[in-house]
Structures are given as structure tokens and as C-alpha cells.
């Protein structure tokens, strides 16, 4: 995270409103989220799907959320992997088609 020079406060690299939205959805459902949940949230709240996914990838990269692939392995998402996804600009459904697993917040420290 970057810091605000005057205050020393951390500035998250992700959209905190989208983090709150997805965290609340996870809490309400009592279960981890998947791509269908993110697409539904995007449509329901008129948010671009790829904006949600940018936030989710940043949260995973910063150990605030975890991603578990559908084969139950903890797939480690890397910055290089995320960079490759964004080569063409905005994400499309086919760009994230392999992320069929579950996303959930990491336990609070």
C-alpha cells in the first residue's frame, strides 16, 4: 500500500467500496463467492465486472482475500498473471473463465 505523505496513512491499491460490497455479500451468504456472484453483483449494482475483478485480484495479491481453485488447490495468483490478463485492457468473460473456484476474505489478524 502507498501512504499519504502528510498523515502516513495507508492507501489501499483496491476499490474499498467494492471490497465492502463483496465482503458484505460473502458475509450475507455465509459462503465464499465465485464468478457468478461477481457477475450478479456487477449487474445488480450497475458496476463493470472487470472493476470488481481488478479489486478481487488486488485483494488476493495483498493477502486480504484468498482464491481456492475448483480442484481445491490454493492457486497462488501472481502479479505477472494479473498483468497478462489485462494485456488487452478490459477483462472479458473468457479472460477469467479458468477462475472457476471460490474467493473469500482471509481471517482478520
Rounded distance between C-alpha atoms, residue 48 and residue 45, angstroms: 9
Residues in the chain: 109
pTM confidence score: 0.85
Q: What is the pLDDT of residues 43-67, one digit of tens each?
A: 999 999 999 999 999 999 999 999 9
Angle at 85 between CA 54 and CA 101, to 5 degrees: 70
Q: What is the pLDDT of residues 70-95, one digit of tens each?
A: 876 666 899 999 888 887 778 888 88
Amino acid at each position: 500500500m502507498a501512504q499519504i505523505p502528510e498523515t502516513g496513512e495507508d492507501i489501499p491499491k483496491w476499490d474499498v467500496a467494492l471490497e465492502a460490497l463483496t465482503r458484505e455479500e460473502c458475509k450475507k451468504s455465509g459462503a465464499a463467492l465465485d464468478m457468478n456472484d461477481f457477475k450478479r453483483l456487477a449487474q445488480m449494482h450497475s458496476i463493470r465486472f472487470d472493476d470488481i475483478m481488478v479489486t478481487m485480484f488486488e485483494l488476493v495479491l495483498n493477502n486480504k482475500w484468498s482464491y481456492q481453485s475448483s480442484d481445491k488447490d490454493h492457486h497462488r495468483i501472481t502479479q505477472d498473471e494479473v498483468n497478462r490478463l489485462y494485456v488487452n485492457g478490459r477483462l472479458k468473460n473468457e479472460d477469467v473463465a479458468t477462475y472457476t473456484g471460490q474467493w473469500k476474505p482471509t481471517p482478520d489478524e
